[in-house]
Amino acid sequence: MLLVIDVGNTNTVLGLFEGKKLVTHWRLTTLHEQTVDEYGILARNLFTLEHIDARAIKGIIISSVVPMLDGTLHQVALRYFGLSPLFVEPGPMIGMPILCDNPREVGADRVVNAVAAFEKYGGPCIILDFGTAITFDAVSERGEYLGGAIAPGLGISSEALFHRAARLSEVEIREPAGIIGKNTTASLQAGLYYGFLGLVDGILERLVATFASPPKIIATGGQAALISPGSRFRPVIDEDLTLEGLRIIWERQNR
């Protein structure tokens, strides 16, 4: 079995593949203070709950945008699984040209998503990832990573609003009944939901216009299922896109 790990600023997602099949996955809070043993014991406990023998893990691949955790996770892999993990880095290993000024600046999660989207849906394509930030990534018809855009995510934007405005309390972020809120909670929900819907559609409109033929649009990440259905571009929602990308890159490295 293959253990894939996607380390984001807010959440860390672990997935287990048996061949090309995603057997199970877990979404955890990214904790910078966890020790090697704490991460290792947590992983082992998750496997035990699913009746999975850790000895069945034959490979580990990690995509991380939190460099301070890379050393910890490397030690977890060695100590608790007896394996040296493969860390994703933009370059030849991903099998996709990166047409950016400095390819090494591109987040590992973004190139992993691009690899998976092109493999599964073809090109040209645009990938939206709703995480701590909302990233928009463009891939050409020939499978080249072109670059993209980064905007603040829904979670951190709403937190900033609640912390800075003394009379506004935190609300559940969800699709409101309508654009005109009749109370403070409904008004906040309308502003957050339709504000980010407008942001997504505005950036997509400009990105789509750069392609000679209509690109496929794929959405993934925590709020993909919340925002995407309201978009006039109707992105395909693929919740496991990043995990699939990690599997694909692993297979390319181990042919």
Residue pair 14/28 in contact by the 8 Å Cβ criterion: yes
Tokens of 120: 């599964």
The answer to whether the Cα torsion of 207, 244, 50, 26 is positive or negative is: negative
Contact 241, 151 (CB under 8 A): no
Q: 196 is written with which tokens?
A: 């980010």
Q: Is 129 tagged catalytic?
A: no
Q: Is 33 helix (H, G, I), strand (E, B) or coil?
A: coil
Nearest to 149 by CA among 94, 106, 196: 106
Where on the phi/psi map is residue 143: left (φ > 0), alpha (ψ -120 to 50), or beta?
A: left
Looking at 6, 109, 129, 238, which residue is catalytic? Answer: 109
Burial 48-82 (b: 16+ CB within 10 A, else e): eeeebebeebebbbbbbbeeebeebbbbbbeebbe
| Helix ranges, 122-153 (H) | none
Give the CA distances from residue 89 to residues 4, 6, 51, in Å, rounded to whole numbers and listed in that order.
15, 13, 32
Give the active site residues: 109
